[in-house]
Amino acid sequence: MATSSPSQSGTSPSLPSTMKTVIVQEFVSDFSNDENLEKAIQWSSDTPVPRLQKNEMLIKVQACSISAGDVIMVGGNLIFLHPNAFPFVPGMDVCGKVVDPNGSEKFKAGDVVVAANGMSPVGGMAEYMAIKQPEAVLKPESVPVLNAAASSSAITARNAVMDHVKEGDRVLILGGSGGVGSAAISFAKHVAKASFVATTSTQADLCTSLGADVVLDYRTENWWERQWGEGSDSTASAQDGIKATTVFFDKIIDCVGGGNFVGKAEKVCKPGSQGGEFVAVTGDDPKPDARTLWKAVQFFANLPWRPLYTRWIAWRSVPTYILLMPYDLPQGRAQVLELMEQGKLSIKLDPQSPHSFSAEGARKAFQILASGHAHGKVVVAVEP
């Protein structure tokens, strides 16, 4: 990992040789267990400053946001995301200032950039981080540092919405108050121009402020049992041509996972033959157990079957299942930041964010995100 790899070019002589970091000493088996968290997530004052490899540059981290991939990494749930060794520094999505551009022709010292550590969620909860130059994008001046660091989930939301939602579509977003879901609401309503956006959440005010027409409290009502478009729904019934109906939505975007939601989608979503799609951001299990190679093989072997079944066999009766895969992250990051700068996209932080740059702050951040009840992006402020 970058925090302990051998040097090719070294670091700037004006930089310290060590830095403060949050470190993970062992996998967290239970994020709700304070004792487990305290044992696993700790503080270090003498972690070596990263030594740069070719095509890398060094940034002084200002903020680091975490997402589901970070929880999987710290929990050890996926063997392909296991670290090379313990301890490791968690976090991958950051905003920070370039201190050593390492020969970059695009960036210079002092530039504030938004970046991620590729597909490896390590290195961000530290004073300094080595990032690959192609992964970095300049932060627009008007975009706050914390929100810029939190923009990563909006890339996922962008891909889920902009690749599948057409102007005029009626869209249901499951989990509208999380990092991806909250951004998906904004994308669907304000960028893709969906005619109607509903979401499931307990945070009605937050989701409405982002553009949701209807917010359904999943604690008191099941979205697959509701008669969407009926007269009691003032927003939907106000639209010309929309009458009470069960099969109402053109697209469902699942940002929650679990609960066999895809099996319920056909009750309210058009079939694939009519353009209906169920876009799975998280999959059936948001916390898969693929800790061993055999479990990982079983997990990935099952992924293609549902898309094939819904596309080629049951396409007249069920919506097409789309398993969203990450792609085009640097370009997506640039587009997201541009929309934020233009005021067309709002990135909401969880009310308890930012968390302090400390072991305690990192534990709390991971605990909130792993609980499934974060209401916006979870961020650690590395530089006050």
Strand residue runs (E) in the chain: 18-24, 41-48, 56-66, 93-100, 112-116, 128-132, 137-138, 170-174, 196-200, 214-216, 251-254, 277-280, 320-323, 355-356, 378-381
What is the pLDDT at residue 308? 66
Q: Are 140 and 338 in contact (CB under 8 A)?
A: yes
Q: Are 20 and 69 in contact (CB under 8 A)?
A: no
Q: Is the pLDDT of residue 331 over 50?
A: yes
Q: Name which residue leads in pLDDT, 246 or 173.
A: 173
Task: Round to whole Å and give the CA distance between 303 and 305.
Answer: 6
Tell me the residue type at 246. Answer: T
Q: Are 15 and 49 in contact (CB under 8 A)?
A: yes
What is the pLDDT at residue 239? 41
Q: How many residues does the chain have?
A: 384
Q: Is the pLDDT of residue 302 over 90?
A: no
Mean pLDDT, the chain, rounded, equals 85
Q: Is the pLDDT of residue 12 over 80?
A: no
What is the pLDDT at residue 2? 40
Q: Are 271 and 316 in contact (CB under 8 A)?
A: yes
Question: What tokens does 142 get?
Answer: 């008007």
What is the pLDDT at residue 240? 38
What is the pLDDT at residue 283? 67
User: pLDDT tens across 207-232, in order?
Assistant: 999 999 999 999 999 999 988 875 43
Task: Round to whole Å and give the CA distance between 259 and 181.
Answer: 17
User: 């005021």: which residue's tokens?
Assistant: 343
User: pLDDT tens across 247-268, in order?
Assistant: 789 999 998 876 667 778 889 9
What is the pLDDT at residue 317? 76
Q: Is the pLDDT of residue 119 over 90?
A: no
Q: Is the pLDDT of residue 323 over 50?
A: yes
Range 327-356 average pLDDT: 90
What is the pLDDT at residue 130? 95
Task: Round to whole Å and give the CA distance between 297 and 354.
Answer: 37
User: pLDDT tens across 184-208, in order?
Assistant: 999 999 999 999 999 999 999 999 9
Q: Are 63 and 379 in contact (CB under 8 A)?
A: yes
Q: Is the pLDDT of residue 17 over 60?
A: yes
Helix axes 68-75, 359-371, angle to 10 degrees: 110
Question: What tokens does 367 get?
Answer: 């605990």
User: pLDDT tens across 37-91, in order?
Assistant: 999 999 999 999 999 999 999 999 999 999 888 998 898 876 666 778 899 999 9
Percentage of the chain modeled with pLDDT above 90: 59
Q: Name which residue leads in pLDDT, 291 or 222.
A: 222
Q: State which H helix or E strand residue 216 sits in.
A: strand 214-216
Task: Round to whole Å and give the CA distance between 207 and 214.
Answer: 9
Q: Is the pLDDT of residue 372 over 50?
A: yes
Range 84-108 average pLDDT: 94
User: 């995100």: which residue's tokens?
Assistant: 369
